[in-house]
Amino acid sequence: MKWSALIGLVFAGALMVYSSPELPPFGASNTPPDTHVSPRYIEKGPEETGAENQVTGVIVDYRGFDTLFETSVIMIAGLATALILWGDHRERDP
């Protein structure tokens, strides 16, 4: 079991190193998020969301489902971890 995990880790690391030259340079201003997404949020954000604060408009209106599901996944992972640890604790104490 440990060998398969090590092989998977080495494969994932090699894949990341192999694909890293395809990434844009750090701070490049000609990436798709900088040329398409950000200008749309800045120009049409206030009228589409109705929010006075642009950060709030992006998080709540444009990325609302994403934020909701990320928060739900973190909460479920925390609850599962707590239940596993609590169940392990109950088995040790008779």
CA distance 73 to 54: 25
Kindly state the average pLDDT of the residues 19-38.
87
Handedness of CA 57, 53, 33, 67 (dihedral sign): negative
Residue 71 pLDDT: 85
| Domain regions of the chain by residue span | 26-92
Tell me the average pLDDT of the chain.
Answer: 86
Q: How sure is the predictor about 32, in pLDDT bands with cuts at 50, 70 and 90?
A: confident
Q: Is the pLDDT of residue 45 over 80?
A: yes
- Encoding tokens for residue 24? 């844009």
CA distance 63 to 73: 15
Kindly state the average pLDDT of the residues 8-27.
93
CA distance 58 to 75: 22
**pLDDT tens-digit map of 61-91:** 888 888 888 889 999 999 999 988 887 655 5
